[in-house]
């Protein structure tokens, strides 16, 4: 899963760098940049500005989600993964688990990236989807690790109780 996310990210960066058309920034873009605390520079293209906005928003979303990470359960992650799948256009079966959904989303994002080429609006949206996917994947891996640690501790307690009671 991590390699597909990395390849989508690398492809997104390469595709956005391929855009060389210079243009002036729209007033909406300038306002977003200023609201996010990003300095507007001379010669900045609309695509560069949109990429900076997407990166800043993704970072803010990641920080917000990291603040909530301790409270995430598998069912919450499943519902978030299904919502992202719906936004990306991936159909999800009712019995699919989180890892399957995340893998399907990653595959779809790769296909979408290949089709996007030099379209900055689409690349910006794909960058946002990728950030959400990466965050969900990290949170899911963290949840899995926490569960594995808990089960390991429970097994150790069980073994200690058996030994203390002379059952083994």
Residue 134: pLDDT over 70: yes
Whole-number pLDDT of residue 57: 76
Assessment of whether the complete model's pTM goes beyond 0.75: no
Q: What average pLDDT does this structure show over 87-107?
A: 91
Q: What average pLDDT does this structure show over 113-123?
A: 81
30 in Cβ contact with 40 (< 8 Å): yes
Q: What average pLDDT does this structure show over 106-125?
A: 85
Per-residue pLDDT band at 85 (split at 50, 70, 90): very high
């Amino acid at each position: 899963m991590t390699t597909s996310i990395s390849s989508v990210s690398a492809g997104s960066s390469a595709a956005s760098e391929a855009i060389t058309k210079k243009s002036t920034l729209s007033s909406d873009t300038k306002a977003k940049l200023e609201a996010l605390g990003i300095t507007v520079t001379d010669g900045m293209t609309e695509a560069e500005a949109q990429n900076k906005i997407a990166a800043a928003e993704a970072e803010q979303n990641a920080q917000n989600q990291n603040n909530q990470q301790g409270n995430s359960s598998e069912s919450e992650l499943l519902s978030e993964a299904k919502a992202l799948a719906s936004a990306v256009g991936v159909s999800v079966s009712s019995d699919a688990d989180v890892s399957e959904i995340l893998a399907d989303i990653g595959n779809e994002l790769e296909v979408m990236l290949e089709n996007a080429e030099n379209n900055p609006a689409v690349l910006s949206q794909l960058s946002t989807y990728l950030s959400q996917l990466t965050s969900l994947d990290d949170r899911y891996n963290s949840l899995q690790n926490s569960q594995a640690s808990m089960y390991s501790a429970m097994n150790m307690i069980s073994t200690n109780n058996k030994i203390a009671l002379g059952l083994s």
